[in-house]
Amino acid sequence: MTGPRTPASTPATPDAQWWRQAVVYQVYPRSFADSNGDGLGDVAGITSRVPYLAELGVDAIWLSPFFPSPLADGGYDVADYRDVDPRLGTLDDVDELIAAAHAHDIRVIVDVVPNHTSDEHEWFRAALAAGPGSPERARYVFREGAGVDGELPPSDWVANFGGSAWTRVPDGQWYLHLFAPEQPDLDWTNPEVHADFEHTLRFWSDRGVDGFRVDVAHGLAKDLLEPYRPSNEQALPLDGSDPLYDRDEVHEIFEGWRRVLDEYDPPRAAIAEAWAPAPRRVLYARPTELGQAFNFDLLEAPFDPTAFRTIIERNLAMSEESGASSTWVLSNHDVVRHATRYGLPDDTDTDAWLMTDGFTPPLDRDHGLHRARAASLLLFALPGSTYTYQGEELGLHEAAAIPRELLQDPKWIRSGHTVKGRDGCRVPIPWTVDGPSFGFGDVPPQLPQPEDFGASSVEALADDPTSTLSLYRAAFATRRQLQRGEHLTWLDTPEHVVGFARHDGWRSYTNFGTSPVALPDGDVLLASGPLTDGMLPGETTVWVG
Ligand code: NOJ
């Protein structure tokens, strides 16, 4: 490297800090827009919708994987990190998408999946062919089994989607996979693995990509020395002593990545998906590493003023201390949509609820959406970056009744059909009121949409000033206009109300209670629901200025 590289399509006035307070819109490519009528969303489909995203007012899009993949895990099983799944398009299509986004001042973040490859990746095929003890196997974690003849898995580690984390190959060795068997884990003590991922970061950065979302960032460093110790991903220790997750050594990997990302002008942004305890999660976000880490605390919290305030306070403090900016998220492709979560009784086990096809307990759709709009508007007033998952701007609910024979999520298969999984938040977006797939494409999509989806389509909502789409558009526009600095000041409020000021009089108040309270002084800029008689109704957010 001789100097910082600036691809031709980078926006004209790059602001190196753009990611600190951005609205990032997550696109799940297979379910966004289908341009070629095969029932699967594709890259050209996304490009065709860039004007929509510009009108929505997002600063960046994050694209979930679009790389060649046998789709054992929705594309998070990558067969080639530096190419495009032919069903989704070509590298030229991605160049066009990046150029179209940049022409609208929208940055592009791509997913990078470093914990595991697909079992159809050329490295894994070579590993199987080369046999035990070969350098090809040393890119993965192959071990002899336990038991008299090695017939038992080397340890009792359990995979995230259920079942053992080890799978045996015909010559008798076992390989490790923290997720599905089709997702063999890489061995990050192997320098070849480091070199290949740095190649991938440069490959996409050279094409003009502005940032990376790093999948399972907390999983790359593992203690694989015998005797194997138990792991508990659900309750990770604060001292980094779990053998599989959130170990201290992982940070050296991301320091190396930061050096690569800083070769570029502007430096490429990155965000860690690291399900680590909050005080350790922010370590991934240090300026010497990735810069940001997903903060899933609000996504996991009930609709409750104390929970919201405590989480916000704690995360802003931790971010400031680490030099990062905070992130906020209520929905993504891995969880039940927040309009639905908030419409179910607080203690609902959503996995169990999905198994009833969404019938029991009954979902109060309007109530859920009403609360979701209040929570989202609160979120958009917070300092830091906000991540919006495709379709939440339409107020979409979970598609809870997908016929079982059409479910695709490995959770469904690996759980022995006891957990339906994540397909319900991944059904294709409705763009129009009618049509074979509500404007998603020309044919019915691979994952069926609910029959009433047309009422939530972009076409149905775009010109309705009370729609969730109009609320998101107005919120993003107002935020862009007003936002400065990364601080907030808490305000004295009645019980059940969370209120804070950003600056220059911009304040946000959320009434988490069910009874109205007096509307705060000031001009109403925006409200998540109707305001009546000078009052702020229950479960409503208002911005005043
Ligand atoms: C996190 C991704 O968000 C999820 O969809 C995927 O299944 C796992 N990582 C494994 O890659």
**Residue-by-residue DSSP string for 140-154:** B-EE--BSTTS-B-S
Note the residue count of the chain.
Answer: 545
Handedness of CA 361, 367, 373, 374 (dihedral sign): negative
What residues line ligand 1, using a CB cutoff of 6 Å?
Answer: 73-74, 76, 113, 179, 215-216, 273, 333-334
**Token pair listed for 205:** 């950065």
Q: Which of 42, 96, 210, 215 is catalytic?
A: 215
Cβ-contact 342, 376 below 8 angstroms: no
Q: Count Cβ neighbours within 10 Å for each residue of 137-176 and write b for 16 or more, e otherwise.
A: bbbbbbbebbeeeeeebbbebbbbbbbbbbbbeeeebbbb
Query: Residues near 436 by Cβ (< 8 Å), separated by ≥ 6?
Result: 442, 443, 444
Cα separation of 172 and 25, whole Å? 45
> Ligand 1 atom closest to Cα of 410?
7
Establish whether 405 is a catalytic residue.
Answer: no
Q: Which of 38, 263, 334, 459 is catalytic?
A: 263
- Start-to-end CA distance of the chain, whole Å, equals 49
By the 10 Å C-beta count (0-12 exposed, 13-18 middle, 19+ buried), 300 is classed as exposed
Pocket test for ligand 1, best of 69, 76, 118 (most atoms within 8 A of CB): 76
pLDDT per residue, tens digit, the chain (545 aa), is 345 565 545 444 458 899 999 999 999 999 999 999 999 999 999 999 999 999 999 999 999 999 999 999 999 999 999 999 999 999 999 999 999 999 999 999 999 999 999 999 999 999 999 999 999 999 999 999 999 999 999 999 999 999 999 999 999 999 999 999 999 999 999 999 999 999 999 999 999 999 999 999 999 999 999 999 999 999 999 999 999 999 999 999 999 999 999 999 999 999 999 999 999 999 999 999 999 999 999 999 999 999 999 999 999 999 999 889 999 999 999 999 999 999 999 999 999 999 999 999 999 999 999 999 999 999 999 999 999 999 999 999 999 999 999 999 999 999 999 999 999 999 999 999 999 999 999 999 989 999 999 999 999 999 999 999 999 999 999 999 999 889 999 999 999 999 999 988 899 999 999 999 999 999 999 999 999 889 999 999 999 99
Amino acid making up residue 49? R
Identify the bridge partners of residue 109 per DSSP, sorted by sequence position. 62, 211
| Alpha carbons 330 and 295: distance in angstroms, whole number | 10
DSSP one-letter string for 355-400 = HTTT-SSPP-HHHHHHHHHHHHHHHHTSSSEEEEETTGGGTPPP-T
In one letter, which amino acid is 204?
W
Which is it for strands 269-272 and 211-214: parallel, antiparallel or unpaired? parallel
Query: What is the Rg, in whole angstroms, of the alpha carbon atoms belonging to the chain?
Result: 23
Residues 6+ apart with CB under 8 A from 452: none
Q: Whose CA is nearest to atom 5 of ligand 1?
A: 334
515: its two tokens: 């009874």
Separation of 480 CA from ligand 1 center, angstroms?
Answer: 31
One-letter amino acid identity for 367? H
CA of 460 from ligand 1 middle (Å) equals 32
Q: Are 476 and 380 in contact (CB under 8 A)?
A: yes
Cα distance between residue 475 and residue 492, in whole Å: 24
Q: On the CB side of 289, how many CA atoms lie within 13 Å of its CA?
A: 27
Residue whose pair of structure tokens reads 């911009």 in the numeric block: 506
Q: Among 301, 304, 255, which Cα is nearest to 278's? A: 301
CA of 73 to the centre of ligand 1 (A): 8
CA angle 374, 282, 240 (to 5 degrees): 130
* Residue whose structure tokens are 């600036």: 6
| Catalytic residue flag (residue 122) | no
